[in-house]
Structure 1
Amino acid sequence: MNNSNSNNKELIEALNQIEKEKDISKDILLEAIENSLVAACKNHFGKADNIRVNINRENGAVNVYAERQIVETVTDPITQISEIEAILKFPKNSVGDVVHVEVTPRNFGRIAAQKAKQVVVQKIREEERKVLFHQYYSKEKDVVTGIVQRYVGDNISINLGKVDAVLTENEQVKGEHFRPTDRIKLYVLEVKDTTKGPRITVSRTHPELVKRLFEAEVTEVRDGTVEIKSIAREAGSRTKMAVATNNPDVDPVGACVGLNGARVNAIVNELRGEKIDIINWSDDPAILIENALSPAKVISVHVEEGEKSAKVIVPDYQLSLAIGKEGQNARLAARLTGYKIDIKSESQVANYDYNSSYNEGYEDSEYNGEYEDDEYSDNYDKE
Structure 2
Amino acid sequence: MSIELKELIEEIRREKEIEIGVIVEALRSALLSAYKKHFGSSENVTIDISPDTGRLKVLAKKKVVKEIEDPGIEIEKEAARKIKKGVRLNQEIEVEITPREFGRIAVQTAKQVVTQRIREAEREKIYQEYKEREGDIVTGIVQRSEHKTVIVTLGKIEAILPVREQIFGEDYRYGDRIKTYILSVRRTPRGPQIILSRTHPGLVRRLFELEVPEVYEKIVEIKNIAREAGGRTKIAVSSKDANVDPVGSCVGTRGARVNSIIQELRGEKIDIIPYNEDAVAFVSSALKPAQVQEVIVHKEEGGDGGHRSQG
Q: TM-score, normalized by length of structure 1?
A: 0.70
Q: Any residues of structure 2 matched to 1:225-240 within 5 Å, and which?
A: 225-240=219-234
Q: CA deviation at 1:24?
A: 3.2
The alignment's C-alpha RMSD in Å is 3.0
Contact 1:133 1:191 in 2 (8 A): yes
Q: Report what 1:136 is aligned to.
A: 130
Alignment partner, residue 75 of structure 2:
81
Quick one: which of 276, 280, 298 aligns to 2:274? 280
Structure 2 residue identity aligned to 1:53: I
CA distance 1:110–1:151, change in 2 (3 Å): closer
Shift, 1:205, TM fit = 0.9
How many Å separate the matches in 2 of 1:24 and 1:172? Answer: 34
Q: How does 1:43-122 map to 2 (within 5 A)?
A: 43-82=37-76, 92-115=86-109, 117-118=111-112, 121-122=115-116
Equivalent of 1:157 in 151, 154, 159: 151
- Given candidates 186, 191, 199, the residue that maps to 2:185 is 191
> Residues 193-228 of structure 1, C-alpha deviation per residue, up to 9 Å, x if partnerless?
445443211001111111111111222222222111
Cα distance in 2 for partners of 1:87, 1:212 equals: 68
What displacement does 1:187 show?
A: 0.8
Residues 259, 32 of structure 1: alpha-carbon distance in 2 compared, 3 angstrom cutoff: closer
Residues 182-261 of structure 1: matches in 2 within 5 Å? 182-194=176-188, 196-261=190-255
- Local SS of the residue matching 2:192: strand
User: Across the two proteins, how many residue pairs are aligned to each other?
Assistant: 309
Cα distance in 1 for partners of 2:73, 2:93 equals 10
Partner amino acid, structure 2, of 1:159: T
* Matched residue type, 1:39: S
Gaps of 5+ in 1: 1-6, 316-383
Given that residues 285 and 303 in structure 1 are in contact (C-alpha distance below 8 angstroms), is that contact kept between their aligned partners in structure 2?
Answer: yes
Which of the pair has more CA radius of gyration? 1
Q: CA deviation at 1:56?
A: 4.1
CA change 1:52–1:87 in 2 (3 A) is same
Residues in 2 aligned to 1:285 and 1:202: alpha-carbon distance in whole angstroms: 34
Match of 1:290 among 251, 276, 284: 284
CA distance in 2, matches of 1:55, 1:222: 48
Given residue 282 of structure 2, which amino acid in structure 1 is its aligned partner?
L
**Gap runs ≥5 in structure 2:** none
Percent of paired sites with the same residue: 46
Which of 16, 23, 28 is the matching residue for 2:22? 28
Relative to structure 1, the CA distance from residue 268 to residue 24 in structure 2 (aligned partners, 3 Å threshold; closer, same or farther) is closer
SS of equivalent to 2:100: coil
Alpha-carbon deviation of 1:231?
0.6
Contact 1:55–1:63 (Cα < 8 Å) also in 2: yes
Q: For 1:84 and 1:252, how far apart are their aligned partners in 2?
A: 84
1:50 Cα offset (Å)? 0.8
Residue 263 of structure 1: which of 257, 261, 264 is its match? 257
**Structure 1 residue 11 corresponds to structure 2 residue 5:** yes
